[in-house]
A and B are shown apart, each in its own frame.
Chain A
Amino acid sequence: MQPAEQTVAGSTDTGRSPARKRWDTTDLSLVAVFAALIAALAILPGIPVGPLGVPITLQTLGVLLAGVVLGPTRGAAAVLLYLAAGLIGLPVFSGFNGGFGVLAGPSAGYLVAFPLAALVAGLLAVVVLRRTRRFRVGLLFLACLAASLLTIHPLGIAGLMVNAGLPLRDAIIVDAAYLPGDVVKDLLAAAVAVSVHRAFPRLLGARARGAQ
């Protein structure tokens, strides 16, 4: 879960890139706290949305937030830490599940896809935050949407086919049921991320100013 170790740079904050610099304690605890955030969102009851109040579970929201708030390396590390905690048996997955058994369950594909989703969302978010000052919510929304369409859904469908024994067509239908909720979560993640980056500009955004 560590980034490359070749350069042990001092803890200067200007113009650093998380991939080249060793993590300091704040990076470490950001990763750990976001892993906890994903766990808290996954095990707590979902929020009722809209007039019908259909609850959306927030596990994937936490995953996308880790990516767009922390960036690709720390975000993916947070998700990997979360998965590691779940796999060794702590009941941090949706529905208080945990343990290697989930890899035999129908949602294994989604879990495997989560670190990749955080990575992709994080990479795109860094581009958005560095290049643009305006339309950030919309662009971050597209970043989240791309991440979930490129990683979570294909791997989720594959997991349904392998573990639940569904044929491809049925797996796509089952997976499609999650799409509307996912779009809502992507939008939510983007809106929240913009607020968080405004509150803590040095998380990822400060480098934008330094780079330009």
Chain B
Amino acid sequence: MRGFGSTLGLYEEGRGFLYRTPLCVKAAVSVGCAVAVVAWRSPPTTSAVLVMALGALLTGARLSPLRILRMLLPAAPVLGILGLYQGMTQGWLRAFVVVGGVAACLLVARAVTLTTPTQALLDGIVRLVTPLRAVGADPERFALALSIMLRSIPYLAGLFVDVREAAKARGLERNPRVAVTPLVVGAVAYAHRTGEALAARGLGDHDDRGEKSDAKSAGDIGDDPSLDHEDTGTS
């Protein structure tokens, strides 16, 4: 399952002004769009956000229109049903407002992750959480957890496919218990190995806060190849 990470829709290299826009601006616009769409459910708001989302992806990330449509494909069934329902009960204008708004928000969010390197995204999150330190949050640990999560997804997805193929070979693919139990047991084992690897490197413990402090962003661990287990396939 190497390369599954690339289908996660994270960062892709490219050119366009979105790549040069600071993350804080992109994130603020993304949140602003969601708030605007929910707060003012009106045709002008939805049209404006939709046009902005499409414009940003077309010119800012230089994606083809086809590519943009493909991004919406996974969400299409839900959006379709929602649109049909709204159209039949409350009119097609209302359907456009609701469905268009949701689609625009999804596209704007995707534009952010597509044009921001994952490392920059993690560093941005650390900065965002830093003020919460006063109430007991720990931004480095949060970013560490987030980066462990990101690198675990390809491993678990690969494990899931392997386990299902094994179940299929035994003619048990219709028995979800056979497919899920080894996955969860494998996940717990993987977490224990990762926890030991972290402890061995003195990462994520609390006593080290003084020595390590901010010298090294915890997010860096996401790119540390020495932490890779046999076949995690981070790409």
Contacts and interface: CB of A to CB of B under 8 A. Distances in A.
**A and B physically associate:** yes
Interface string B41-64: 000000000000000000000000
Contacts, number: 228
Nearest to B121: A88
A58 B35 CA distance: 29
Contact of B90 (A29, A41, A165, A195): A165
B93 interface: no
B53 to A, nearest CB: 9
A43 to B, nearest CB: 8
A164 B86 contact: yes
The range of chain B's interface size is 35 or more
B69 interface: no
A61 B38 contact: no
A40 B177 contact: no
Nearest to B102: A105
Nearest to A48: B174
A168 interface: no
A15 to B, nearest CB: 20
B152 A89 contact: no
B118 to A, nearest CB: 9
A211 interface: no
B21 to A, nearest CB: 14
A166 B82 CA distance: 10
Given A84-B146, A106-B78, A37 B184 contact: yes
Say whether chain A's binding surface is mostly helix, strand, loop, or mixed. Answer: helix
A196 B191 CA distance: 13
B109 interface: yes
B205 A24 contact: yes
A90 B188 contact: no
B184 A69 contact: yes
Interface of A: 1-2, 5, 8, 22, 24-37, 39-41, 43-44, 47-50, 53, 56, 58, 61, 65, 69, 81-82, 84-85, 88-92, 95-107, 163-166, 184, 188, 191-193, 195-196, 199-200, 203
